[in-house]
A and B are shown apart, each in its own frame.
Chain A
Amino acid sequence: MTTKKFMMVNRKAPYGTIYAWEALEVVLIAAAFEQDVSLAFLDDGVYQLKKGHNTKAIETKAFEKTWGALEDYDITKLYVAQESLAERGLTADDLAVPVEVLSRAEIGKLMEEQDVILSF
């Protein structure tokens, strides 16, 4: 099978819309087909990675836990925009999994290197 470079660009907060969960499902599918998958988190997308989600009361799956499984799927390239974290008063320590914090411009360059970009 041909391997392509896939990047999922996540820009939405979790739970308010279905985008974040859909992106994660697509990530798992792409990885199951052994593609070269990376994830970029920009804007409100960084809220997806915040640790300590408790969704019991809103009766929604807390997929924060699922980030921990990405390693099993050989997905290790998680890029987070420094500016988006800073604007929201967050740092890498607030996130549920280890990520690579990059500037928006650096993420922009990585986007240019992809074969496929999926926007969420």
Chain B
Amino acid sequence: MAFELNGKTYETDEEGYLVNLSDWNEDVAKYLAQQEGVNLTDAHWEVINFLRDYYNEFQIAPAVRVLTKAIGKKLGPEKGNSQYLYELFPYGPAKQACKIAGLPKPTGCV
């Protein structure tokens, strides 16, 4: 599968995740968010950037439990809880946020 944006074609898997991590940029994120029905705010970007940093450091997208804990550690307990994250990404912070962040689906996410 694929989509087109600003004259460039982006390859995705059958679930809509970017195939090539290096294809990602902010416009792609905005497009993917729009497809998910998510209106990106600063709070969303904070999580997206966190995920991209996490991936760069550890080479994996974290499972939701791990994401929650790690965000709490870095951004504070008011953000490191599943309620806050699900408000931002209703279809699952790990799954949906990873897709928008251009990362693969977290291992252990069904």
Contact A29 to B108, CB < 8 A, known contacts A69-B66, A72-B66, A73-B63: yes
Docked-complex contact A32 and B63, CB < 8 angstroms: yes
Given A31-B63, A32-B109, 7 further pairs, Cβ under 8 A: A28-B108, A29-B107, A32-B63, A61-B59, A68-B57, A68-B58, A72-B69
Is B102's beta carbon under 8 Å from chain A?
no
**Interface assignment of A25: CB less than 8 Å from any CB of chain B:** yes
Within 8 A of A (CB), among B55-107: 57-60, 62-63, 65-66, 69-70, 107
Interface residues on B, range: 10 to 19
Chain B residue nearest to A61 in the complex (CB): B59
**Minimal Cβ-Cβ distance residue in B for A28:** B107
Docked complex Cα distance between A62 and B57 (Å): 11
How many inter-chain residue pairs (CB < 8 Å) link A and B?
Answer: 41
* Contact across chains for B107 and A25 when beta carbons are under 8 A apart: yes
B108 touches A32 (CB 8 A): yes
B58 engages A69 (CB within 8 Å): yes
Q: Which of B54, B57, B59, B66 contacts A73 (CB 8 A)?
A: B66
Complex Cα distance A69/B57, Å? 9
Residues of the B chain whose Cβ atoms lie less than 8 Å from the Cβ of A19 = none
What's the Cα separation between A66 and B57 when bound, in Å?
8
Q: Which chain A residues border B59 with CB–CB below 8 Å?
A: 61-63, 65-66
A84 to chain B minimum Cβ distance, whole angstroms, is 24
Give Cα distance in the complex from A78 to B60, angstroms. 19
Asked if A66 meets B108 with Cβ closer than 8 Å, knowing A32-B65, A72-B69, the reply is no
Q: In the complex, A31→B60 CA distance in Å? A: 14
Q: From A65, which residue of chain B is reached at the shortest CB distance? A: B59
> Which residues 41-100 of A have a CB within 8 angstroms of B?
61-63, 65-66, 68-69, 72-73
Contacts of B58 in A (CB 8 A): 65-66, 68-69
Checking B54, B57, B70, B107 against A32 with a beta-carbon cut-off of 8 angstroms, the contacting residue is B107
